[in-house]
Amino acid sequence: MNVVKKLRYAFYVSGNASRLMKILERYPVIIQSTFVVINDEGPNEKLGNLLLAFNVKYIEYSYNQKGLEGKEKNNYTSDLLLEKFNEFNIDFSFCFGGRILKGELLETYKNRIINFHPAILPMFPGVKSIDRSLNGNAFLLGNTAHFVDAGTDTGPVIMQSILQSQTYTDYEDILGLQLPMIYQIFCWLNENRVRVEDNKVIIDKAKYNHISFYPQLDMEHLN
């Protein structure tokens, strides 16, 4: 991997932070480049102890303890993320949290906050997307990694993963696909291969050859 510069990363997570916990186990190199993790539904003592071993600043809080309701939660979290990203000179943040981010944060860190949504956008944006995909009898399930903008899961798409619905057994079948996605994006960012043009993401030198038929054609004369 031809690394151009050592970038500084952050994570925004919620509650048990299951994706981040698995990243800590499988891809510790990502955590070695992470400088701050913010959890808006603490406490999570196990996560805090693991991050301490990596010398990563860990910040957690509870909306109930702060008396925040509704949109106040979005505003508080957005302001805190902006403050901490600036304090730690963050280049990119991975987002697994539950709040809709707002305001100056999105302007200052445009195309630098990456969300992982468990559906093939633009289908099924918002909450409970896996359940809604299943209830809607979607043929294909999957994930979308995209930059966060002011809409709900509407930012420029970086990459997607696909799972045929007949092979689905539980949430982890879908959510587990996010782990190699985050590692690949981490590598692309470090290699300075990600750019946005006309609100579309281009990965320089990436392979965009695709499967046009799912399942694939098995009759050669049809190709």
pLDDT, mean of residues 27-34:
97
The one-letter amino acid code at 30 reads I
Give the confidence band of 215 by pLDDT, cuts at 50, 70, 90.
Answer: confident
Residue 220 pLDDT: 62
The predicted structure's pLDDT at residue 145? 98
pLDDT in tens, 69-125: 999 999 999 999 999 999 999 999 999 999 999 999 999 999 999 999 999 999 999
Q: Which CATH class is domain 9-207?
A: alpha beta
State the pLDDT confidence band at 136, using cuts at 50, 70 and 90. very high
Helix (H, G, I), strand (E, B) or coil at 62: strand
Cβ neighbours around 133 below 10 Å, total? 22
pLDDT 10s digits, 173-182? 999 999 999 9
Computed over every residue of the chain, the mean pLDDT equals 94
- What's the pLDDT at 223? 54
- Give 184's pLDDT tier (boundaries 50, 70, 90): very high
One-letter amino acid at 93 equals S
Core vs surface per residue 84-119: b (16+ CB within 10 A) or e:
bbeebebbbbbbbbebbbbeebbeebebbbbbbbbb
Instruction: Supply the pLDDT for residue 46.
Output: 96
Rounded to 5 degrees, φ, ψ at 100 are -85, 120
Provide the strand spans (E) within 57-215.
57-60, 92-95, 113-117, 140-147, 157-164, 194-197, 200-203
Question: Peptide bond before 122: cis, by omega within 30 degrees of 0?
Answer: yes
